[in-house]
Structures are given as C-alpha cells and as structure tokens.
Amino acid sequence: MDNKWFAVKGALGVVVTVLASLLGGFDIWLITLIGFSVADYVTGLLKGFINKNLHSEAAFRGGLKKAMIYVIVGLAAALDGLMLPEAPILRGLAVGYYIATEGLSILENISACGVPFPQKLKDVLLALRDDKAGNTGGDADGENGPAD
C-alpha cells in the first residue's frame, strides 16, 4: 500500500511541476488566481443552489471557462519566454486581469445571494482589471464577455 501511495504522490508532483512550468512558475500571482478561480466556481454553485437554478451544464461550462483562463496564462508565459525573456510582462498582465475578473465575478455571485459587500472592494477590482486590460472603464461584467 505504501508503494502505491508513494507512486501517486510522485505522479501528482510531476503533474503539478509541469503545469506550473507551463504557466510561467508557481508564484503568488498564480496561487492567487487559483484561489480566486476556485472561489468563483464555488460561489457560482452556491448562487445557483440558493436561487434554485443550479444546472450541471452551466457548471460544466463554468469549468471549461476556468480551463481556458489557464490556457491564456500559458500562452502569455510562452510569449514572454519568446519575446521578453529578460522582462516578462505578458503573463503578469494576463494573470492580473483574470484575478480582477474572477474577483468581480465572486462579488456578483455573493451579491446575487443577498450578501452585501464593500463598494470600495469592487472599485479596486475594477481598477485592477481595467489597468491590466488597458481599459479606461467598464462595467463589472467586463468588456470581453461575462465574468463567469
């Protein structure tokens, strides 16, 4: 039994290492994005449950959208490696944008559940999103589609 557990832990370690490498490293930015993605997914499920409109298809689509976020982060990290190895900024821009977008989506989910939140928190997330996207303003849904 110990050998199987050791093999599972070893395989998991290899997978996490490869994924972190493809995403440009396992730093505080990626950890924050992962945390926000999980929180957004969970609050979305809770919103559906509380509002009695939880559907497996919507949850599956939400999961696919989360996966696409990490594809974009990986592409940005790869482009940094090709074009800007001495000053990687594309990954930081992508991760910062998605942290803000996920944060706004969390606030929208929480609000739909009837829980109030400080407006200043939303303002900070909007400013971060707009700064990373090069936008000068916009609504909480973002200008590139919904913030699921």
Q: Is residue 142 in some structural domain? A: no
Over range 117-143, report the average pLDDT: 72
pTM, rounded to two decimals = 0.79
Q: Is residue 40 in some structural domain? A: yes
The predicted-structure confidence for 84-121, as pLDDT tens digits, reads as follows 888 889 999 999 999 999 999 999 999 999 999 889 98
The chain-wide mean pLDDT, for the chain, equals 86
> Which of the pair, 106 or 1, is modelled with greater confidence?
106
Residue 44: domain span: 2-133
Residue 45: pLDDT band (50, 70, 90) is: very high
> Within a 13 Å sphere around the CA of 139, how many CA atoms are in the beta-carbon half?
5
User: Is 1's pLDDT higher than 90?
Assistant: no
Q: Is residue 36 in some structural domain? A: yes
Domain count, the chain: 1
Q: Is residue 145 in some structural domain? A: no
Report the distance separating Cα 50 and Cα 14, nearest Å. 38
